Amino acid sequence: MTKRTAERQEELFSREAWDRSLLHGLACEWEKSLWVLSPSHRKMMRPPLFSLRAMEDRWGSWSGKKREISLSWNLVLNHPWDAVCEVLLHEMAHQFTEEVFGAHHESPHGPQFQKACQLLRANPKASGNYKLLDERIVQGSAGGEDRIMVRVKKLMALAGSPNQHEAEAAMGKAHELIARYNLDLLAQEEKRNFTSVFVGRPALRHPPEDYALAHLLQDSYFVRGIWVSAYVPARSKMGRVLEISGTIQNIKMASYVHDFVRRFIHSQWAAYNKNRSLNRHRQADFALGIVEGFRSKLETQGKEEGKGPASLALIKMEDPLLKEYLAYKYPHTVQIQRGVARQDKNVLQDGKRIGRKLVIAKGITEHGGSRGLLIGS
């Protein structure tokens, strides 16, 4: 066997293994998605076959004859997993319409299908040429929301100033503008369209700083976060990922802050630990310190600006419409208490000191490929 033949066989084996992992993931996500249904409906849904195909005019399909859900290769390989799950849910609604409601001859997106989408929390539009979840987030919406974000982006560009005072003042104004916009929406009781996306990657375990950062986003950026089950392709197992919900503009901002803080932690830890050789537990202490330091900075800014709408008390106002959306999307939730590991107070304090200097600015490495750093897209 030549070296080239061996490499080709290894490549084919890796592709086949990856295919099996993805198909297994679709089966796991299908099973997980049933838990929003009543027990009687859940029993009537039988596991289908799954396949990945080259599709040019659609993202997925359901075949009642084959009892098969097929998804596009382009979708699975080039888009985030939450976008894949949205299409999967749509095809599950088609399956539900046929196999539970018995509506075999109804038009493709008729009344029974709409009802199935309601029960499964599926998007009835997620098919054909409809834009995928990640594309809709990047695109945003035309109107007042985008005008607000243009102003926010300009302020965040100023927040990149080498002058620390100017940078912090620009970041403070950006936060105040975001808060003012959202508080105006609450006061006017205007209808708002909400969506949900993953931030970060699904994993079997998450370090403590991921949970601290999730609370920071929820407390300061007008989104709500829930840790949901999600497939981890590299491990072929179900793990968890943070899913945030809110308006598209708030999701874009919160996603940007999430990635910005994560990258800041990574760069600062590399410099801090260069000559220390500290372990992963101390890295968690340092990262927690950065998140806590940045949170205290935001709280201090809020108190200093307490005479305006960016005060901390107002920023934490709850959106009743978002609460209603979450109650529908997540009918069954539980609270999990996490234990606190032993910490190195000195490393934690060093992280806090550095976190208080963190300024969220418009970065030069922005991109929207995997929904990272979306604010400048």
End residue of a domain, out of 130, 155, 181: 130
Q: Residues 368, 374: contact at Cβ < 8 Å?
A: yes
Q: How many domains does the chain have?
A: 2
Mean confidence (pLDDT) of the chain: 84
Q: Residue 112: give the domain boundaries.
A: 3-130
Instruction: Name the pairing type of β-strands 60-63 and 237-246.
Output: unpaired
C-alpha 8/C-alpha 19 separation (Å) is 16
User: pLDDT tens-digit profile of 151-173?
Assistant: 777 777 776 777 777 878 878 88
- pLDDT at 46 > cutoff 90: yes
- Does the residue 370 lie in any domain? no
Q: Are residues 44 and 120 located together in one domain of the fold?
A: yes
| Widest pairwise Cα distance in the chain | 77
Q: Are residues 211 and 263 located together in one domain of the fold?
A: yes
Q: 86: domain CATH number? A: 3.30.2010.10
Task: State the pLDDT at residue 71.
Answer: 96
Q: Are residues 294 and 183 located together in one domain of the fold?
A: yes
| Chain centroid, CA 205 distance in Å | 16
C-alpha 30/C-alpha 37 separation (Å) is 12
Least confident of 124-133, 147-156, 214-223: 147-156
Q: Residues 310, 302: contact at Cβ < 8 Å?
A: yes
Task: State the pLDDT at residue 146.
Answer: 61
End residue of a domain, out of 100, 130, 160: 130
- Does the residue 343 lie in any domain? yes
Q: Are residues 69 and 175 located together in one domain of the fold?
A: no
Whole-model pTM? 0.86
- Does the residue 367 lie in any domain? no
Task: State the pLDDT at residue 309.
Answer: 43
Task: State the pLDDT at residue 372.
Answer: 53
Q: Are residues 194 and 288 located together in one domain of the fold?
A: yes
Task: State the pLDDT at residue 141.
Answer: 57
- pLDDT at 8 > cutoff 80: no
User: pLDDT tens-digit profile of 334-373?
Assistant: 777 776 678 999 999 999 999 999 888 775 344 444 455 4
